[in-house]
Amino acid sequence: MPDISLTLGFNPAPNTQALFDRTVQPKGIELHLQSQFGEGLDNVGARHRSIIKGKIDGGELSISSFILARLRGVKLRALPVFLSRRFRLRCMHCRADAPLHHPSELAGKKVTVHRYNATTPVWLKGILQNEYGVKPHDVEWFVAEPDIAEEALHAPPPEIRVRFISLPRTREHAIELLEQGE
């Protein structure tokens, strides 16, 4: 008989697969894993909202979502387990026929991000400012959805130009919009 029952939300990935296929079973814990939280491209945001709102016991949460939730008074505890580490600059893409050759050329341009305060855009905004001199207010941000934090207390400052756009339905739809120059 397990001591506790936990429902955790994770993205199925090589470093969590042993939990999903039950190769690893924590002693004394009846573990329920959930990986699907939303439709289309918003699965991660839906998982974060489930954790922050207490609908599940815990799981994988980005550092920016964690910090913003804590600033709003949500009682969460972080464990020093990093399921995803990568060089964030490789997450920037532009059309092959775009006249851009260097990140410093993004000043005055339009940039699309899924959520303004998501971890990858936070890193990218810092890298653009510190390494290439492009400050957040130098760019017009097109955001695919209102952020959990933006719905509450942490909207971007007024000097930051943010426009909300319809969330692409699928990855293929996002590529199609990019190809059309949207």
pLDDT tens digit string along 160-176?
888 877 766 677 777 77
Task: Indicate whether 65 and 120 sit together in one domain.
Answer: no
Residue 154 banded pLDDT, cuts 50, 70, 90: low
Give me the pLDDT at residue 40, please: 61
Extract long-range pairs of 45-50: CB within 8 Å, 24+ residues apart.
45/114, 45/115, 45/145, 45/148, 47/9, 47/11, 48/148, 49/148, 50/9
Structure-token match 């990140």, residue found: 103
Domain count, the chain: 2
Asked whether residue 61 falls in the same domain as residue 130, the answer is: no
Residue 79 covered by a domain: no
Q: List, for residues 62-75, the tens digit of each pLDDT value.
A: 888 888 889 889 99
Lowest mean pLDDT among 29-33, 92-96, 148-152, 172-176: 148-152
- Predicted model pTM: 0.69
Residue 150 has pLDDT above 60, yes or no: no
Full domain range(s) for residue 148: 88-179
Residue 46 is predicted with a pLDDT of 82
Residues 55 and 131 in one domain: no
Higher-confidence residue: 128 or 147? 128
Domain identity same for 66 and 99: no
Among residues 20, 40, 71, which one ends one of the domains?
71
Q: Looking at the predicted structure, is the pLDDT value of residue 146 above 70?
A: no
Distance CA 62, CA 57 (A): 16
Percent of the chain with pLDDT over 90: 34
Cα–Cα distance for residue pair 90/104, rounded to 1 Å:
15
Does any domain span residue 78? Answer: no
Tell whether 82 is covered by a domain.
no
Residues 116 and 169 in one domain: yes
Please tell me the predicted confidence (pLDDT) of residue 142: 85
Q: What percent of the chain has pLDDT over 70?
A: 84
- C-alpha to C-alpha distance for 109 and 161, rounded to whole angstroms: 11
